[in-house]
Structure 1
Amino acid sequence: MERKYWVPALERAQDVLKLLAGQPSKLKLMDLSLATGINKSTMFSLLHTMEALDWVVKEKGDTYALGSFFGGIGNAYFTGMSLVKHFQEQAEMTVHRLGESVQLARLDKGELVYLAKKEAATHVRLISEPGMRLPAYATAMGKALLSSLEDAQVLALYAESGYQTFTPHTVKTDIELLNQLGQVRARGYATEFEEVVQGFCCIAVPVLDRSGQPIAAVSTSMSTHLWAEKEELAREQIEQLAKKLSGLQ
C-alpha cells in the first residue's frame, strides 16, 4: 500500500493491539514499549488515549487488555458476515420462485450499502453490487430501514446534502419522503418505482434482530412491465425471505 498518506500513530496502535490480543492481561507499559520499540513517553500517551476510547483497559497490576469497544466491533463484523451467509443460502429459493434477482443491504447513516446479491438467470443485470452505496431515500430497501427512525432523525440525515435526482420520480422534498415512510410503516414493506433507474421497480422488507430492531433489508427488483403480474408474489416471497433471516442475530 502507498504510504504517502500513512498515519504512523495508527500503525503503532495496531502493533499494541496485536500484542494485547495475543497476550491479554500480561503486558505492562514497559513490556509494550520494549516489544514495539515505541519509547516510554509515546507509549504512555498512546495507551492513555486508547484507554479513554475504551480500546484497552488498564487492570490491577498495571497490565493491559483489549477494551469492550472491540467486542462491539467484532460482533458487528460477524453479524454482517453471518447475515450474508444466511442470505446466500436462503435467497436461492426466492430467486427460483420469483425469476428475479434479490438483494441484501443495510443502512449507514443516510446511505444504503449493498451487502449481497443473488442473480436470477435473466438477460437483465441489476446495477447494484456488494459495497455499492446509494441514497437511502431513493431505494425501497432504504425506505424500509428509514421507516424505523423518527421523522426528525430522517430529516437530519439529509438536512445538508438535500436530495439527489436520479430520475423524474426520485424523492425531491422532505414532505414527499415522510409521506412515503408513513405508508411503509402502515403496510410493513416499501416500494420504489423508477426512482433510481427508469423502467425498474423494487419491493423491500426489513430484516429484524432478536429484539425486533431492523438490521438490514431484502428486496427484489424487476422491470416495471412485470409489476402487475408479479407484485403479489414478489411481496410474499420477500416477506418470507426477510422472516427467515430475522432473529438470527
Structure 2
Amino acid sequence: MERKYWVPALERANNVLLELAGQPSKLKLMDLSAATGINKSTMFSLLQTMETLNWVNKEKGDTYSLGSVFGIIGNAYFAGMNLVKQFEERANHSIERIGEAIQLARLEKGELVYLAKKEAATHVRLISEPGMRLPAYATAMGKVLLSELDNDQVLALYKEGGYQAFTPNTVQSGDELLKQLQVVRERGYAIDLEEIALGFCCIAVPVVDRNGSRIAAVSCSMSVHQWPQKQELAKQEIEQLAHALSATI
C-alpha cells in the first residue's frame, strides 16, 4: 500500500494492540509508550479513545488488556471460516440430490459477497465466484438477507434511479424492492426469476446464528428450463442445508 494513503493513528493503535496481545494485563501506559515509541501524551489520548470503544480494558494497577470488542470480532471471524468449511463438507449431498450448483454468500451493506460455490456435473457454469460482489437487490440470496432489515434501512442502501438493470426482470425501484421483500418475509425464502442473468433461476434460504440473526444465505441456481420440475426439490434441499449450517454456528 502506498504510504500517501497511510493512516498513522491506526498504525499506532495496531502497535498498542499487538503489545497487549503479547502481554495481557502486564503493561501500563509508560510500558506501552516505551515499547511502541509513542510519546506519553499521545499514548494517553490513544488509550482513552480505545477504552471508550471497548478496544482495551484498564485494569486494577493501571495495566491494560484487550477489550471485549475483539471477542466479538474474533468470534465472527472464526464463525465465518467455519461456515465456509461446513458448507464445503455438506453441500455435496444436496448437489447429488438436485444436480445443480449451490452457493453461499453474506450481505455487506447493499452488496452480496459470495463466500463459496459448489458446481454440479453439468455443462452450465455460473458467473459467480468466491469474493465476487453483486447488488443484493438483484439476487435471491441478497433479498433473503435484506428482508431482515427494516424498510427504511433497505431504502437507505440504494438511491432511487440507481438500480442497475441486469435483465428486464431486475427490480427497478425502492417500492418494488420492498414489495418483494415483504413476500420473502412471509415465505421465509427468496427466488430470482432471471433477474441477475437471463436463462437462470435461483432459490435462497437464510443461515442464522444462535440468536436468530441472518448471517449468510445458501442458494441453488439452475437453468430456466430445469426450474419447473426442480424448484420444489431445490427448496427442500436448500432448507435442509441452511438448517444444518445454522446448527454449526
TM-score, length basis structure 2: 0.94
Counterpart in the other structure of 1:36 = 36
The amino acid of 2:76's aligned partner reads A
In structure 2, relative to structure 1, the CA distance for the partners of 1:54 and 1:222 (3 Å cut) is: same
Deviations 1:17-51, CA, capped at 9 Å, x for gaps: 01101111100111111111222222222222212
Q: State whether residues 99 and 120 of structure 1, in contact with CA within 8 Å, keep that contact through their aligned partners in structure 2.
A: yes
Distance in 2 between residues matched to 1:101 and 1:108, nearest whole Å: 23
Partner of 2:198: 198
After superposition, residues 210-225 of structure 1 pair within 5 angstroms as 210-225=210-225
Report the AA paired with residue 154 of structure 1.
V
Corresponding position: 1:91 with 2:77: no
- Please say if residues 57 and 64 of structure 2, whose CA atoms lie closer than 8 Å, have aligned partners that are also in contact: yes
Give the letter aligned to residue 138 of structure 1.
A
Q: CA offset at residue 212 of structure 1? A: 2.3
In the alignment, does 2:67 pair up with 1:67?
Answer: yes
Confirm or deny: 8 A CA contact 2:192 2:202 kept in the other structure: yes
**Matches of 1:55 and 1:62, distance apart in 2:** 16
- Ranges in structure 1 where 5+ consecutive residues have no aligned partner: none
> Within the alignment, does 1:181 sit opposite 2:181 as a pair?
yes
Q: Secondary structure at 1:112's aligned position in 2?
A: strand
- Equivalent position of 1:118 in the other structure: 118
Q: Which residue of 1 aligns with 2:139?
A: 139
**Compared with structure 1, are the counterparts of its residues 67 and 161 closer, same or farther at alpha carbon in structure 2 (3 Å cutoff)?**
farther
One-letter amino acid matched to 2:61:
G
Kept in 2, the 8 Å contact 1:210–1:248? The answer is no
AA at the equivalent of 1:42: T
The letter of the residue matching 1:21 is: A
**Alignment-derived partner of residue 77 in structure 1:** 77
Deviation at 1:168, TM superposition (A): 1.0
1:166 corresponds to which letter in structure 2?
Answer: F
Work out the CA distance in 2 between the residues paired with 1:71 and 1:226. 45
Q: Could you tell which deviates more after superposition, 220-229 or 122-131?
A: 122-131
Using the TM superposition, name which of 156-165 and 9-18 deviates more. Answer: 156-165
Residue 170 (str. 1) matches residue 175 (str. 2): no
**Cα distance per residue 1:57-82 (max 9 Å; x no partner):** 21121111111111111111111111
How many Å separate the matches in 1 of 2:152 and 2:48?
37
1:8 and 2:8 are equivalent in the alignment = yes
- For structure 1, which segment, 47-56 or 15-24, has the greater mean C-alpha deviation from structure 2 after superposition? 47-56
Q: Please report how far the alpha carbon of residue 140 of structure 1 lies from its aligned counterpart in structure 2 after TM superposition.
A: 0.2
Report the 3-state secondary structure (helix = DSSP H, G, I; strand = E; otherwise coil) of the residue aligned with 1:225: coil
> Is contact 1:207–1:215 with CA below 8 Å preserved after alignment?
yes
- Asked if residue 106 in structure 1 is aligned to residue 106 in structure 2, the reply is yes
SS in 1 for 2:226: helix
Given that 2:161 and 2:173 are in contact with CA atoms closer than 8 Å, whether structure 1 keeps it comes out as no
Matched, 1:45 2:45: yes
Q: Percent identity?
A: 73
| Partners of 2:160 and 2:174 within 8 A in 1 | no
Q: Aligned partners of 1:74 and 1:146: how far apart in 2?
A: 24
Secondary structure of 2:128's match? coil
Provide TM-score, normalisation by structure 1: 0.94
Q: C-alpha deviations, 1:137-177, integer Å up to 9, x for none?
A: 10000111112222222222224673121111100112221
**Structure 2, unpaired ranges of 5+:** none
> Pairwise CA RMSD of aligned residues?
1.6
Kindly tell me the number of residue pairs found equivalent between the two proteins: 249
Q: Which runs of 4+ in 1 moved over 3 A?
A: 159-162
Q: Does 1:55 align with 2:55?
A: yes
Alignment-mate amino acid for residue 125 of structure 1: R
Residue 122 of structure 1: how far off its partner (Å):
2.2
> For 1:87 and 1:174, how far apart are their aligned partners in 2?
32
